[in-house]
Structure 1
């Protein structure tokens, strides 16, 4: 792999952010620094070259959208097909990194390492975490152990799968992880160590193929709360082609919510607002037309449903897809 290039794709985020001083940790301008300048700020990267870079975007990741996901997936697939590219690193804001990672996990068709990274502190902050995260992402992308592991997220010395990873803290540099399975691996002294491999279909094994820019179906999310006005469900469903319902606990739905959802005929996925653990099927799901999200959080269930609806899959297919991916 050493004879090939690592492609570094910049999309913006806090890692490319600047503040008014070294103590500005939460007030800063995300997406202010170009990817080439980020790379130049980490001289240790030279040990892991050669590199090529491209500035896909330079945005706050709260501005990431399905439209941008599709374009990014097309770019990554195009780059991955090149014989001179051995791995790909994507710098990204942390707010939607878990969503982008799962989208790419489903739509990038390569066994080559695809690694996402970012930072919780802007580049101008004291003890900024971006430089070491970028370095370690490159180290993972250079590792043969990272081949066919799916899309990976590398932050704070740890490796997580694009399917399971979640942002767990608003400001902590150790924000990314997975409360259910633990980290997939870690980086120590420049070496990537993996503890387990993904067991769900991903990347080169995925059946979700994007060959051109497409407009993905609108899928809405409604997370329940005590005493919720169920008309919210009707309103969101009227503007959507699919609906994710984040229920209480094990995806529990109050009777008023169930009664409203029975009248909604678009595909409906029962998930949990908790975002950790499995939502399994029960006897009411088939009668009431629900698909269960398995261990996918509402935001990730939305991504899988969008891609499935793009292919006009049947309800039976949707059930199997949530078990496979």
Structure 2
């Protein structure tokens, strides 16, 4: 049996009657209505469904990740569960997928899907995505791949999938096909009540250093720097970053561009005590850092975990 967990999103959305066809409200339709709109779903095998959240995924928070994780683990523990499908908004779908990829054990498939058009759109893509996700979760070949994402007839591994475009059915892409994906689950034994705060700070021309102090003053235990180029740190940021490091804040140097940020290339990471994101984009580096901190890692342990995550 495939267990389906609904969290809201555009796939459950409807046009906002007050704003016209230019806007919609996410997470409006319950999961039962979504299932009823999918022709052929009954032929895909036995299915159970549960509504656990009803969010626009722009409002997804770490506490919600923990709720989804708990619900997925509970599904895994039920007799006869062959896999899990999670309905999710597309804005932060890649973040939830990566979080679950790091925190769920290898074995049973977990497939996330959503939609780029609301449920009452005349050419809604949600029903086809839902059916494709259920079918993939039921395939024996999907076992041991970790968390997968299905959108627009394509399937991707959580490690490299990104929402690359803000509109269009082909909004998601990856450099890795799902068949090449590998399970991770390095934090599968972790069961935190909450996750430590980690902020992402963007690098741009004239970015003020006081953003660093503000994050630290309001409780950030880690900072991921989404810097220009190969993780180029503005000179004006150095005093604030050093002060944050002295206060025990973990600092990860990443880039807003694609590609790897190598340790001690373009910055003295060893001397400053900074970490690097490898080829993880800043949102995924943030999640890896949050989990590493929640696991009590520091220093070389945190560095090793992040570099491994970063490929």
Q: TM-score range by the shorter chain?
A: over 0.9
Instruction: Give the secondary structure class of the aligned counterpart of 1:76.
Output: helix
Q: Which runs of 5+ in 1 are unaligned?
A: 186-193
**Match of 1:241?**
221
Distance in 2 separating the partners of 1:54 and 1:209: 25
Change over 3 Å in CA distance of 1:148–1:25 after alignment to 2: farther
Whether contact under 8 Å (2:200, 2:224) holds in the other structure is yes
How far did 1:208 drift?
4.1
**Match of 1:191?**
none
Instruction: Give the secondary structure class of the aligned counterpart of 1:220.
Output: strand
Distance in 1 separating the partners of 2:87 and 2:20: 21
Distance in 2 separating the partners of 1:25 and 1:159: 29
Distance in 1 separating the partners of 2:233 and 2:264: 12
Instruction: Give the secondary structure class of the aligned counterpart of 1:281.
Output: coil
Whether contact under 8 Å (2:187, 2:291) holds in the other structure is no
Per-residue CA distance 1:95-146 (angstroms, 9 max, x = gap): 1101100110111124111000000000111211101100110111011110
Per-residue CA distance 1:190-224 (angstroms, 9 max, x = gap): xxxx3x233xx613xx234244x511111111011
**Is the aligned partner of 1:224 residue 2:166?**
no
Would you say how many aligned residue pairs link Structure 1 and Structure 2? Answer: 302
Instruction: Give the secondary structure class of the aligned counterpart of 2:5.
Output: strand
Change over 3 Å in CA distance of 1:268–1:136 after alignment to 2: same
Whether contact under 8 Å (1:70, 1:210) holds in the other structure is no
**Is the aligned partner of 1:273 residue 2:251?**
no
Distance in 1 separating the partners of 2:31 and 2:223: 37
**Alignment partner of 1:288 out of 272, 284, 303:** 272
How far did 1:234 drift?
1.4
**Match of 1:112?**
108
Per-residue CA distance 1:206-262 (angstroms, 9 max, x = gap): 234244x51111111101110111111111122201111111011111211233312
Distance in 2 separating the partners of 1:110 and 1:11: 23
Distance in 2 separating the partners of 1:287 and 1:202: 30
Q: Which runs of 5+ in 2 are unaligned?
A: none
**Match of 2:138?**
142
Q: How does 1:254-269 map to 2 (within 5 A)?
A: 254-265=234-245, 266-269=249-252
Per-residue CA distance 1:251-289 (angstroms, 9 max, x = gap): 111211233312212110001112x21111116101011
RMSD: 1.7
Distance in 2 separating the partners of 1:100 and 1:58: 15
Per-residue CA distance 1:288-320 (angstroms, 9 max, x = gap): 111000111111111111111112212101111
- TM-score normalised by the chain length of structure 1: 0.89
Q: How does 1:288-307 map to 2 (within 5 A)?
A: 288-307=272-291
